[in-house]
Amino acid sequence: MRRFLLPLALFSAMVLGAAVFIAWPTLIKEKPEPADVQEPAGLSVRARLPQGQGTVMAIVDVQKVLEKSTAAVGAQKILDAHRLRFQKEVSSEEKELREAEQALQKLRETGQMEAFVEAEAALQNRFLTIERHVQSRRKALDQAYTDSMAMVREGLVDSVQTIAKQAGINLVLVKQQVIWNDQVVDITDEVLSLLNKKRPQVEVKIEPQEDLWQDPRMPVKP
């Protein structure tokens, strides 16, 4: 029966292994301007960037934008709620498996070998079924995160392009790949602000998972 104890310890790792934590953004309240007099983000950037005949460069902190955009934060909040609920379900199943294992051990100690063999097979089948569901749910949550962040990145690129065209920028670099830059060429805040306006949220689509107890290989739950 030792073969059941070791796999049970893997449940928490399987549920938490894909958790990704995103910091909550700091909300900065600004006095709104009338829509008809709002200046495009790129024009304010253009005014401060050095202009010339050569390359006009800018820097964007992509990691900061992905962490603090309202769309990314909202998606992560939804996914965290699903992960927490799933973790509780798995913890409950893990407890029941341990109790079943203890009952199985008693059958063996009392010499009820026929009942022991039958119960052992049922317990092993139950464990494998739950493990399969854990892996399937984890994959669904990971895919949901990947898809939602892809939409955020798409919006980020669109925002960068919009500001670059307005400001006359012809080269934008990722801050994480630059050793040093003057703060004047950093347009991260403008990109983040525009992204939040153009794409305040993204769809978080989690593929529906079948009810664990509807699986024909699961015994009837007591």
The values of phi and psi at residue 172, to 5°, are -120, 125
Give the span between the Cα atoms of 71 and 58, in whole angstroms.
24
The values of phi and psi at residue 60, to 5°, are -130, 130
User: Does 170 have pLDDT greater than 80?
Assistant: yes
What is residue 216's predicted lDDT score, i.e. its pLDDT? 43
User: Does 194 have pLDDT greater than 90?
Assistant: yes
User: Does 167 have pLDDT greater than 80?
Assistant: yes
Reference 143, options 210, 79, 84, 89; nearest CA is 79
Q: Where are the domains of the chain?
A: 2-15+40-202
What are the tens digits of pLDDT across the range 80-101? 999 999 999 889 888 988 998 9
What are the tens digits of pLDDT across the range 31-65? 444 444 566 777 777 767 766 667 899 999 999 99
The neighbour count for residue 2, using CB atoms within 10 Å, is 6
The neighbour count for residue 186, using CB atoms within 10 Å, is 17
Q: Judge contact between 178 and 51, C-beta under 8 A.
A: no
Q: Which residue has the tokens 């939409």?
A: 151
Q: Judge contact between 74 and 149, C-beta under 8 A.
A: no
